[in-house]
């Protein structure tokens, strides 16, 4: 018995000495992070105080608040629903950190709209500051066009934009001149390339990294088709269903930079129709329809790079099935939202052979975006940085999480007509847990 007791005591002593070291080593290798989550909506999106409380992120389910209820810090970013990715990135910067939107002197002069926009209090004013744990970063979760916006946003944060600095300060300004311009508000810090390492990860859900052929067909057909074939048609649907007759209904186009603002006592619907008829839509590439086209996406992909210090993740969606006799794809009535059927049929048969790449492989879609476009940027790239996610993510590459079959464009954000996503909140909780383990 004495020998047994001695053995137990010896083993206990050894474990007591070894376990703290083992635990310390594990903690050092897997410290994780508690960076806030920023949700970035897509084309036609809206803020939490719009559409009578029907949420972009979740519909009747509140993804933001559900994540907050289990301890995560989550904010919903709000940008122009039909603005270009450049304008949206500038708006997102001001919306997160606080201050007045600066669209850039060079950009605003090139496209003929106001340089400055709205002023925001800021979702996360400490963003980019340093404490004992290092830089206060963010994770970005984006949907649809939000993925393009997030990529361009990360590019500006990391590398700035030389043309904007030159427009304000001329060639080869000193660091002191740059700092002074930032301080006095004549140059946005976003354009200076001094916001390095402010983003830990970018995730895109069903994003048109290479554009969508739906936008191609809209651009060819004019504004009237565009009204029904893009998320803008949702505003008309709100009218049909009576949603916009509710007292607290609002849908903000956020086109102040173009001089378009809602008049006193003007309904959202009438303002939208007036805005749609504006001449400003003609002949400009500074709007979402161009950026969402394969041509616009290609142009953006040529200068927006995958940053080597950022994790990129992507999810693809598909809710079509191949026809019996042809390669054409048709909406799967069991899973596709019926409101997306017209879009899906167009994309399921659209062949433009733009740059000799848009063939039948572009037919599978989720009702708004071609599935092939959702894993990461390829058009216009000399190097494609897309890899299948194997449990160990790589920075500077698009870690593709796979295709969610039988899932349409809005299922993944909870605005669903099917139960294919299952436990949506569980999906988001598990995913954010993974991000905070990076």
* Cβ atoms 80, 255 nearer than 8 A: yes
Task: Give pLDDT tens digits for 110-119.
Answer: 999 999 999 9
Strand partners, 81: none
Selecting among 144, 316, 373, 416, the annotated active-site residue is: 144
Tell me how far apart the alpha carbons of residues 212 and 391 are, in angstroms, rounded to a whole number: 29
Tell me how far apart the alpha carbons of residues 370 and 344 are, in angstroms, rounded to a whole number: 9
Q: Which of 318, 435, 314 is nearest to 376 (CA)?
A: 314
In this prediction, residue 249 carries a pLDDT of: 63
Q: Which of 113, 121, 257, 95 is nearest to 190 (CA)?
A: 95
Task: Give pLDDT tens digits for 79-89.
Answer: 999 999 999 99
Q: Which residue has the tokens 């598909």?
A: 318
Is pLDDT at 194 greater than 90 in this prediction?
A: yes
As a whole-number percent, the residues of the chain with pLDDT over 70 amount to 84
Task: Give pLDDT tens digits for 85-102.
Answer: 999 999 999 999 999 999
Instruction: Kindly state the tokens that stand for 177.
Output: 């001149």
Tell me how far apart the alpha carbons of residues 106 and 397 are, in angstroms, rounded to a whole number: 30
291 is catalytic: no
- Dihedrals phi, psi of 310, to nearest 5 degrees: -120, 140
Q: Which of 423, 403, 402 is nearest to 414 (CA)?
A: 423
Q: Can you tell me the mean pLDDT for 50-57?
A: 92
Q: Which residue has the tokens 């970018």?
A: 202
* Cβ atoms 351, 359 nearer than 8 A: yes
Query: Which pTM does this prediction carry?
Result: 0.88
Task: Give pLDDT tens digits for 29-42.
Answer: 346 899 999 999 99
In this prediction, residue 15 carries a pLDDT of: 32
Instruction: Kindly state the tokens that stand for 115.
Output: 């340089």
30 is catalytic: no
In this prediction, residue 175 carries a pLDDT of: 92
Is pLDDT at 234 greater than 60 in this prediction?
A: no
In this prediction, residue 2 carries a pLDDT of: 45
Q: Which of 46, 55, 110 is nearest to 80 (CA)?
A: 46
Instruction: Kindly state the tokens that stand for 70.
Output: 């289990």
Tell whether 338 is covered by a domain.
Answer: yes
Is pLDDT at 11 greater than 60 in this prediction?
A: no
Is pLDDT at 19 greater than 90 in this prediction?
A: no
Tell me how far apart the alpha carbons of residues 126 and 253 are, in angstroms, rounded to a whole number: 28
Tell whether 254 is covered by a domain.
Answer: yes
107 is catalytic: no
* Cβ atoms 237, 249 nearer than 8 A: no
In this prediction, residue 274 carries a pLDDT of: 85
Tell me how far apart the alpha carbons of residues 321 and 224 are, in angstroms, rounded to a whole number: 28
As a whole-number percent, the residues of the chain with pLDDT over 90 amount to 70
pLDDT-derived band at 352, boundaries 50, 70, 90 = low
- How many independent structural domains does the chain possess? 1
Tell whether 15 is covered by a domain.
Answer: no
Instruction: Kindly state the tokens that stand for 59.
Output: 């519909």
The H or E element spanning position 226 is helix 223-229
Average pLDDT, the chain: 86
In this prediction, residue 227 carries a pLDDT of: 41
Tell whether 339 is covered by a domain.
Answer: yes
Is pLDDT at 248 greater than 80 in this prediction?
A: no
In this prediction, residue 282 carries a pLDDT of: 76
Tell whether 255 is covered by a domain.
Answer: yes
Q: What CATH number is given to the structural domain containing 290?
A: 3.40.50.1820
In this prediction, residue 247 carries a pLDDT of: 53
Is pLDDT at 412 greater than 90 in this prediction?
A: yes
Task: Give me the domain span that covers residue 151.
Answer: 33-160+195-435
Selecting among 87, 306, 366, 408, the annotated active-site residue is: 366
In this prediction, residue 155 carries a pLDDT of: 98
Tell whether 174 is covered by a domain.
Answer: no
Tell whether 396 is covered by a domain.
Answer: yes
Task: Give pLDDT tens digits for 368-402.
Answer: 999 999 999 999 999 999 999 999 999 999 999 99
Q: 60: how many CB neighbours lie within 10 A of its CB?
A: 9
Tell me how far apart the alpha carbons of residues 123 and 96 are, in angstroms, rounded to a whole number: 5
Tell whether 116 is covered by a domain.
Answer: yes
Work out whether the CA dihedral 398, 403, 404, 410 comes out positive or negative. Answer: positive
């Amino acid at each position: 018995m004495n020998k047994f007791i001695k053995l137990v005591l010896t083993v206990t002593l050894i474990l007591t000495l070894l376990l703290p070291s083992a635990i310390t080593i594990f903690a050092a290798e897997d410290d994780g992070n508690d960076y806030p989550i920023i949700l970035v909506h897509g084309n036609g999106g809206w803020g939490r105080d719009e559409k009578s409380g029907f949420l972009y992120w979740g519909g009747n389910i509140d993804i933001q608040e559900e994540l907050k209820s289990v301890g995560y810090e989550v904010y919903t970013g709000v940008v122009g629903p039909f603005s270009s990715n450049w304008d949206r990135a500038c708006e997102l910067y001001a919306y997160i950190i606080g201050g007045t939107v600066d669209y850039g002197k060079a950009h605003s002069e090139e496209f003929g709209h106001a340089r400055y926009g709205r002023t925001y209090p800021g979702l996360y004013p400490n963003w980019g500051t340093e404490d004992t744990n290092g830089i206060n970063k963010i994770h970005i979760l984006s949907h649809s066009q939000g993925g393009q916006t997030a990529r361009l946003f990360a590019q500006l944060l990391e590398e700035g934009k030389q043309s904007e600095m030159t427009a304000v300060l001329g060639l080869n300004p000193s660091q002191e001149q740059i700092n002074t311009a930032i301080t006095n508000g004549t140059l946005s810090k976003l354009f200076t390339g001094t916001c390095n390492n402010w983003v830990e990860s970018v995730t895109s859900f069903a994003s048109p990294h290479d554009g969508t052929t739906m936008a191609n067909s809209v651009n060819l057909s004019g504004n009237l088709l565009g009204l029904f074939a893009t998320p803008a048609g949702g505003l008309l649907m709100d009218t049909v269903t009576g949603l916009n007759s509710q007292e607290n209904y609002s849908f903000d186009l956020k086109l102040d930079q173009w001089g378009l603002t809602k008049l006193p006592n003007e309904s959202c619907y009438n303002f939208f129709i007036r805005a749609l008829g504006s001449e400003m839509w003609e002949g400009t590439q500074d709007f979402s329809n161009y950026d969402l086209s394969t041509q616009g996406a290609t142009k953006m992909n040529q200068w927006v790079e995958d940053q080597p210090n950022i994790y990129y993740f992507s999810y693809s969606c598909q809710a079509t099935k191949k026809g019996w006799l042809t390669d054409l794809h048709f909406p799967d009535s069991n899973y596709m939202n019926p409101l997306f059927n017209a879009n899906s049929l167009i994309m399921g048969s659209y062949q433009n052979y733009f740059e000799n790449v848009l063939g039948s492989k572009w037919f599978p879609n989720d009702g708004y975006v071609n599935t092939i476009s959702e894993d990461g940027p390829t058009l216009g790239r000399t190097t494609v940085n897309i890899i299948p996610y194997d449990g160990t993510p790589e920075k500077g590459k698009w870690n593709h999480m796979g295709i969610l079959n039988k899932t349409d464009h809005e299922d993944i954000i909870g605005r669903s007509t099917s139960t294919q996503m299952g436990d949506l909140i569980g999906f988001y909780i598990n995913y954010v847990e993974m991000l905070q383990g990076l």
